[in-house]
Each structure stands twice: as C-alpha cells, then as structure tokens.
Amino acid sequence: MSFRFLLLVLPPLLAALPASAEKFRFERPLMGTRFMVVCHADDRETATKVANAAFRVAEELNATASDYLPESELSMLSSMPVAKPIPLSPLLYGLLEHSRRMAEATGGAFDPTLGPLTRLWRETRDQRRLPDAEKLRSARERTGWRNFTLDPESQTITLHRENMAFDLGAVAKGYAADLMLESLAEHGIRRAMIAAGGEIRLGDAPPERDGWRVAVQTFDPARPDDIVVLSNAAVSTSGDLYQSVEIDGIRYSHILSPPTGLGLKQRVAAMVIADEAKLSDALSTAACVLGPDSSEQLRHFPGLRELKVMTPQESLVRIPGNIPSTH
C-alpha cells in the first residue's frame, strides 16, 4: 500500500448548487489505496452508471499493470526472454511508453524498472534491517530504464537484462485518474474530480465556482500547507508523511533513490500541478529524488504548471512552470 502526503478536496465556500447540478460522490478501494469520484450530474442514476464505468477503467489498468498481482501482464514480463520482442496490450504499451519517456526526461530520477529494488525494500521495511550488500547489488544490476526498448509499430517491448521487474507505482495511479476523467467526459460528465491516493485529476469547475479547492499537507498532518483552486488540471504529491522506516537511527522514505537502491534519507516533499495526472504523478516522485536544489531542471517540462519542493528545515521553494494555470 503506497501513500503520498495528503491532498484533500475541500467543500465549496459559495451558495448551494442548483438542483439541476447535484453533486455525487463515489469511493472504491483500488491500487492499494482509495479512489474517489466526485461529479455533478442531473440525477443519481446517471452519476452512478458513469462513475462505475470510470472505476472499471481503473480496475482494468490495475489488473494489467500491478506489480502485486503475479498474473498481471506487467508481472509476467519478469519471466520473459531477453532480446526478443514481446507483444503488449495497447493499455500496457501506452503506460510503459509514457513511463520510459518520463524516465529519459528526468534523467532516471523517475525509473519504472525499480521492481527488484522495490521488492527488496519492502522486505527491508518489514524487517527493519538494511539489505545484504550482495542482495542489493544483484537487485541494482537488474534495474535501469535504458535496459528496455519499445517498438511503436509492432507495439512490443524488448528486455535487455535478465530477470527485470517493473514497478509503475509512481505513475499508474495518475495514469488511471486521467483515463477515468476521460471516461466521465465521454459519457457527458465534465464537472468532475478524481482522487487516487495522492493524485488528483480535476475536470471542469463545479457550477458557479472558479474551480476545485484542494488542500495540501506535507510534514504536518494537522494543518494544510497550501490551498489551490484549479480546474482542468492535475495535482500530485510525494513525500514520507505516512510511509517511512527508521533503521539504526536513520529515517528512510518509501521513495527509493535509484543510485543507491535504498529509501531516500533526506526528508523532502513535492507538490506538482500539471496538465495531466500522468505527468504530475511521475514528476512529484522525480522532484523528491532530485531534491530542492536540483529540481530546477524540471521547471521547463512540457505540461508542468507549478512545482513546489520543501524540506522540514527549509521554507517552501516555489518553482513556476512554463505553462500558465487555467482556472
């Protein structure tokens, strides 16, 4: 189960909505967290039908790309032969293509091939003991985003290392949120919000509102650090507010450092606003890995609207993106 630091959708401050734009809320456990759909529709029957269709989209993605499910298409890649093109479903191909593009753009700060290290770190977290050096070396040798290639014409993947394992936990929820919002829009509901753990995808603003009010919490669970009002955007957060482990007096985050294979030791949190959740999700993880000083390299990323990075000891660093926010 993977938690990011907290995002809350706050209730509107203005007058009650007209009867023709009633608000409905639906929740469902998915991807080790809870997914929520909030939408405005004329009646509950329509809203329920459309929300269920959106949840089915996320369930299909989870069944395809979960590293927890041994029978998922993603998990089965670990047993596939090296240097041989492997056909992929359109859903998984699209997710892996996006993931590789994000890995290249962030210099590997976001890396979808950390599955061997993720599994080892889960054992570390449970045992509260650092992994054996040989086990860590072996796991690191089986990672690296350059060790797989994709062919867009044949929709295939070719692995270049044996026993590779993918972990798309830092992008799959955002990717699912985008697909869910798209599903809602295809069924005629555009005034909607998807919450997928620490990822929030926002559609058109609620009736008579400027946007959706989202409260962000980082290191203090008792109060929000910021409140943003947005529509047609995505907000993602990463940090160790709810997931960390202390070993030999050192606090380690659940976010892994690709160079070391261990959890980040520096306490850092990031909040990203972007055009799509598949961008904000991956970029928030990359920003934590890069840290406050080096995350400047992300500021010109296409689709990024705003990035905030902070540590408990430092004031919030605001890094505006190259695309203005639209409310």
Same domain for 311 and 186, yes or no, is yes
Same domain for 229 and 181, yes or no, is yes
CB-based contacts of 122-129 (< 8 A; 24+ apart in sequence): 124/245, 124/247, 124/262, 124/263, 125/245, 125/254, 125/263, 128/245, 128/246, 128/247, 129/247
Phi, psi angles (nearest 5°) of residue 217: -120, 140
Give alpha helix (H) positions in 12-72: 44-65
Same domain for 230 and 282, yes or no, is yes
Q: Summarize pLDDT for 81-105 with one digit per residue, the tens.
A: 999 999 999 999 999 999 999 999 9
Q: Summarize pLDDT for 157-192 with one digit per residue, the tens.
A: 999 999 999 999 999 999 999 999 999 999 999 999
Count of alpha carbons within 13 Å of 197, Cβ hemisphere only? 25
Out of 159, 181, 210, pick the residue that ends a domain.
Answer: 159
Decide if 255 is inside a domain. yes
Same domain for 84 and 60, yes or no, is no
Same domain for 155 and 187, yes or no, is no
Same domain for 40 and 103, yes or no, is no
Q: CA 172, CA 196: separation in Å to the nearest integer? A: 10
Q: Summarize pLDDT for 267-326 with one digit per residue, the tens.
A: 888 889 999 999 999 999 999 999 886 667 888 889 999 998 887 765 444 445 543 333
Q: Count up the domains in the chain and report the number.
A: 2
Q: CA 139, CA 107: separation in Å to the nearest integer? A: 20
Out of 159, 194, 218, pick the residue that ends a domain.
Answer: 159
Task: Report the CATH number that the domain containing residue 277 is assigned in CATH.
Answer: 3.10.520.10
Q: What is the DSSP string of 85-116?
A: -EE--HHHHHHHHHHHHHHHHTTTSS-TT-HH
- Which domain does 104 fall in, by range? 75-159
Q: Please list the residues that pair with 8 across neighbouring strands.
A: 215
Q: CA 15, CA 60: separation in Å to the nearest integer? A: 38
Cα radius of gyration rounded to whole Å, the chain? 20
